[in-house]
Copies of this chain bind each other. A is one copy, B any other.
Amino acid sequence: MRINKELTKGSTAMLVLSVIAKRDMYGYQIIKVIGMSSESVFEMNEGTLYPILHALEADKCLESYWCEAEGRRRKYYKITDKGRKQLAVKEKEWKEFSTAVGKVLGGANLVGA
């Protein structure tokens, strides 16, 4: 990661769900797509992504299927209805969180509190 990795905690699953929601994708590709669309701010490790995919599938937010193309075996993931709901929750939570950070940094003047 180009930035403090701790910042990413809690948001990674949301990002993964988000890109898969746009179209079915396989693991290696997810890393590349998130890396590119974030302009290399996120350079996710495989050791980070695969466990997340497995957990999201176990939680029925994703479904997987194997495809063979270009002489390569790829495991594609597709988002489920539950996954879309989960994504909506996480996006809302993210907005609430980032807005709150902005408020604290922006300094609501609470002298006397």
The residues of A with any CB-CB pair to B shorter than 8 Å are: 2-11, 14-15, 18-19, 22-23, 29, 32-34, 36-39, 41-42, 90-91, 93-108, 110-113
Partner of A106, one of B7, B22, B41, B99: B22
Interface contact A112-B107, CB-CB below 8 Å: no
* Shortest beta-carbon distance from A109 to chain B in Å: 8
Partner of A6, one of B4, B10, B103: B10
- C-alpha gap A41/B113 in the complex (Å): 17
Partner of A104, one of B4, B15, B93: B15
Q: A98-B110, A104-B15 are in contact. Are A93 and B38 (CB under 8 A)?
A: no
